[in-house]
Amino acid sequence: MSRVSFDRAGLLRGARESWPIALGVFTYGLVFGVLARQAWLGAGGALSMSAFVFAGASQFVALDLWGPDLPFAGLFLTTLAVNLRHVLMGAALGPWFSRLTPLQAYGSLFFMNDESWALTLARCSREDGDVDGAYLLGSGLTVYAAWLASTALGHLAVAGLGDPARYGLDFAFTAVFLALLTGLRRGRQDILPWTLAALVAVLTARLMPGKWHILAGALAGSLAAAWLPRFGSGRG
Amino acid sequence: MAEAAATALAVAGMAAVTYATRAAGLFLVNRLRLAGRWEPFLQSIPGTVLVSILAPAVLAGGPAEWLAAAATVAASLRFRSLPLALAVGLAVVWVLRRIT
């Protein structure tokens, strides 16, 4: 089995290869900053939320609930629901991260976001050579910097930046995830889990708000991968 | 409650819940020593998570986004480079949105 290292080289590699996702995160951070201002969340509040929570989707949902009488229980429950997908993502890093020290592993996980996670997995899954344990931290810190800077800029600057869709930047996430997905392809065994995940995700997205569709789709697809007979292999 | 205190409490609670979700996956895998039938489950998670993020997002678009998605996949398969695939996808969606 390949060695898992945790060094400066891996950290820098993760940081260097994360500029495309940092660009996409930056545009979303601008939008968050602008919306936070409109929701009467002050600059300090918006920045501390970006700094300590660092989870875009749940921060947007929080703005929706923001007001003079904050519904704390509802806020924390929605945060949990929106971010529950992290549990699956963290589990998928297990084969490599269980070989790091607790401080390295659980420290890096604070910076785990959808995009950095996907990049890290693509990096770890390569079969040649050693694995960079610090890759997630390097990538996460880059995205973190972009998220903080854009939150501040969006909140402080005039809201005259316009819609990111005008520049096609809203498509950046879709493009990044599509490219990463083509790299994760393992063969015919993926057909059934991926089809089921897509169907369940689309249906759930129609029926429920937030990010439930990621959890529901991934669970359906991965449970099928574990328990249903494989195509062509005859394994039951 | 004073506004600053309410904001601090909201942010602290959200931060705690969010970090718990980030740490829980690795914690559970380490504790439960999942093996056997769970291995194909865990190995398939990266793909099914990405598919679940993508399927509703792509479907929500129109012909411009669908063609750009196809171009992104083609570029990724051909060049095996993330920045290049991203550039192709963004360029195609930008051009198609202008002309449609």
Q: Do B89 and A55 touch (CB under 8 A)?
A: no
H helices of B1-100, where? Answer: 3-32, 38-60, 63-79, 82-99
Residue A48 with chain B: CB contacts under 8 Å: 7-8, 11
Q: Which of B3, B14, B80 should we substitute to test contact with A (largest number of A Cβ atoms within 10 Å)?
A: B14
Report CA Rg, chain A.
19
Residues 45-64 of A with CB under 8 A from B: 45, 48-49, 52-55, 58-59, 62
- For the question of an ipTM over 0.95, the answer is no
Q: Do A41 and B7 touch (CB under 8 A)?
A: yes
Q: Which residue of A has its CA nearest to B33?
A: A94
Q: What is the pLDDT of residues A147-203, one digit of tens each?
A: 999 999 989 875 555 555 666 767 877 888 898 888 888 888 899 999 999 999 999
Residue A220: predicted pLDDT? 95
DSSP per-residue codes, chain A: ---EE-SHHHHHHHHHTTHHHHHHHHHHHHHHHHHHHHTT--HHHHHHHHHHT--HHHHHHHHHH-SSS--HHHHHHHHHHHHTHHHHHHHHTHHHHTTS-HHHHHHHHTT--HHHHHHHHHHHT-SSS-EETTHHHHHHHHHHHHHHHHHHHHHHS-S-S--GGGGTGGGHHHHHHHHHHHHH--SGGGHHHHHHHHHHHHHHHHH-STTHHHHHHHHHHHHHHHHSPPTTT---
Q: What is the pLDDT of residues B31-65, one digit of tens each?
A: 876 666 677 887 788 889 889 989 999 999 999 99
> Is A137 in the B-facing interface, judged by CB distances under 8 Å?
no
Q: Do A226 and B40 touch (CB under 8 A)?
A: yes
Q: Do A175 and B58 touch (CB under 8 A)?
A: no
Q: Do A173 and B57 touch (CB under 8 A)?
A: yes
Number of Cα atoms under 13 Å in the Cβ half of residue A112: 33
Amino acid at A188: R
Q: What is the pLDDT of residues A97-133, one digit of tens each?
A: 999 999 999 999 999 999 999 999 988 887 667 789 9
